[in-house]
Amino acid sequence: MCGILAVLGCSDDSQAKRVRVLELSRRLKHRGPDWSGLYQHGDCYLAHQRLAIIDPASGDQPLFNEDKSIVVTVNGEIYNHEYLRKRLPNHTFRTGSDCDVIAHLYEEYGENFVDMLDGMFSFVLLDTRDNSFIVARDAIGITSLYIGWGLDGSIWISSELKGLNDDCEHFECFPPGHLYSSKLGGLKQWYNPLWFSEAIPSTPYDPLVLRRAFENAVIKRLMTDVPFGVLLSGGLDSSLVASITARHLAGTKAAKQWGTQLHSFCVGLEGSPDLKAAKEVSDYLGTVHHEFHFTVQDGIDAIEEVIYHIETYDVTTIRASTPMFLMARKIKSLGVKMVISGEGSDEIFGGYLYFHKAPNKEEFHQETCRKIKALHQYDCLRANKSTSAWGLEARVPFLDKEFINVAMAIDPESKMIKKGEGRIEKWVLRKAFDDEERPYLPKHILYRQKEQFSDGVGYSWIDGLKAHAAQHVTNKMMFNAERIYPHNTPNTKEAYYYRMIFERFFPQNSARLSVPGGASIACSTAKAVEWDATWSTNLDPSGRAALGVHDSAYDNQVPSASNSIPAIIGNVPLKMEVSTPGVAIQS
């Protein structure tokens, strides 16, 4: 990932303003440690902190069209850039960067070109011919982006809050799938697929179509000129990503540069479920496996830095971001600059365990739609900022635009969990890769049930966080919580502890409003409670107390330390960690 910062129409073209923009841009240097760039045109400034993945030698930004009348600063990857270059035969490209196509596409097609881009991206484009500009963010919000407004009428754009919070009167999250046009004077939605309306699809489930779509999504993300690997927790999603990557690596440009043996990475407390499962998958696939250990104290010591980087006080996001943040630092120390990860699958396929209680296919589908639309506030934010903190890029094939279109067109009746028919969560995905002739994964991995990332790294992790928070937040503090934090009032000591840290870094009202909660959390939680009222009393967002999901599939032995439930599906022993209604964490 890179870091972008733009100040547009600030009525100040002084050297002092330029120095200030440079100072703010340097706050994003962790996202792009390879090079810095700044372009100024009158009272407009476009700054860039580069993480070089494609064309490291010549792809420095900002980028221009032929006569430099159009300038663009971009964070992200355009996977179909070679195809787009062929559609621009009359244009001359200065670099081999995948982002170089953006200025030329605008020159050729105007503001309506954004939907032509296949990738993850945030960008600011300035047309110096009339001083107009556009800002755009990718369909799902894989890349982070914020917009702010100054008292002088200026518009500010930044990859992270920390680029805006001291200089803007108001700032907020830039919505995914949207474009800001100075000519229109506001936002317009460029991404509006059929599933966005939440109408119930009817396409029959075809496992081979789904398989091909996901393989294509993974393969296109092997586009790189730098060393890379895969994040491997041993769960279904990351294991499928690793399996497909290992199969197709040999035929890529990256293999010629870095070798055909895939590197995989996992993090956890000593003896954690993820470490064991990931090692088994790695042995099966033949990857060069890197196992990173951390202690509860290591994680607690990193919490303040994690909150500063991920810019949220959401409890589940912080729990899962911390081990990912620690792992990203280790990965970068090995010289790796890009990893492929498994976020998004649970939202698309209804993988969270409260989906077992969905009463019908209509509500099942509508809840998956809502959860995909909220990903930019949770799992995408975690994956993007936890890795970018160390100059590491995370690519997420489950959120490929074409794959989502295929997966969300499937009749949701096929996605529903029906224990009587042996269909556990994400059955359609598992079935698509259940190849007897050339197995992608061993059966017990393919049908392994979900571990939350925050629990999969070690069951004592969450307990340790709660104990630490209890030492720093008193009952009296909790009694007055609503008066101290009237917006998104924390309801546990752990939540209060994170909120105190967040407010110290980001005390502005705009910052606290940028974090989801209140109505957005209540809406999602209400849906789960509507399906099963017993979840209404559970305050822990991990849903560890929300037992009773498909009871007949499980044994009555519940280990007290983790609330994990031994299970049997067919003849395959499995382990399940009960997930949360509302916002849960990708395994």
**Cα 25 to Cα 36: distance, rounded to the nearest angstrom:** 9
> CA angle, 578 as apex, 301 and 498 as ends, to 5°?
30
> What is the H or E stretch that residue 268 is in?
strand 263-268
Beta-bridge partners for 126: 71, 133
What DSSP letter does each residue of 70-136 carry, written as one string? EEEEEEEEETTHHHHHHT-TT---S---GGGHHHHHHHHHGGGGGGG--EEEEEEEEETTTTEEEEE
**Cα 368 to Cα 412: distance, rounded to the nearest angstrom:** 10
What DSSP letter does each residue of 406-461 carry, written as one string? HHTTB-TTTTS-BGGGTB-TTHHHHHHT--SSS-SS-HHHHTPPP--HHHHT-THH
The reply, when asked if residue 231 is annotated as ligand binding, is: yes
**Cα 545 to Cα 153: distance, rounded to the nearest angstrom:** 49
Contact call for residues 15 and 40 (beta carbons, < 8 A): no
Q: Is the link from the previous residue into 62 a cis peptide, with omega within 30 of 0? A: yes
Using a 10 angstrom Cβ sphere, with 0-12 exposed, 13-18 middle and 19 or more buried, the burial of residue 131 is: middle
The reply, when asked if residue 208 is annotated as ligand binding, is: no
The reply, when asked if residue 446 is annotated as ligand binding, is: no
Residue with tokens 């479920």: 273
Helix or strand or coil: residue 539?
coil
Q: What is the 3-state secondary structure (H, E, C) of 178-210?
A: EEEECCCCEEEECCCCHHHHCCCCCECCCHHHH
Contact call for residues 517 and 554 (beta carbons, < 8 A): no
The reply, when asked if residue 341 is annotated as ligand binding, is: yes
The reply, when asked if residue 138 is annotated as ligand binding, is: no
Contacts of 200 (CB under 8 A, 6+ apart): 361, 362, 365, 412
Q: List C-alpha distances in Å: 105 to 1, 24, 26, 133, 137.
A: 22, 29, 29, 14, 16
Q: What is the 3-state secondary structure (H, E, C) of 521-535?
A: HHHHHHHHHHHCHHH
What tokens does 31 get?
A: 């996202």
Max CA pair span of the chain:
72
**Cα 348 to Cα 227: distance, rounded to the nearest angstrom:** 29
Catalytic residue among 2, 44, 99, 173: 2
Residue 266 designated active-site: no
| Complete edge-to-edge strand list for the sheet that includes strand 155-158 | 35-41, 44-50, 3-8, 155-158, 146-149, 170-173
Residues of the binding site for L-glutamine = 98
Residues of the binding site = 98, 231, 267, 341-342
Residues of the binding site for ATP = 231, 267, 341-342
Which residues are marked as active site? 2
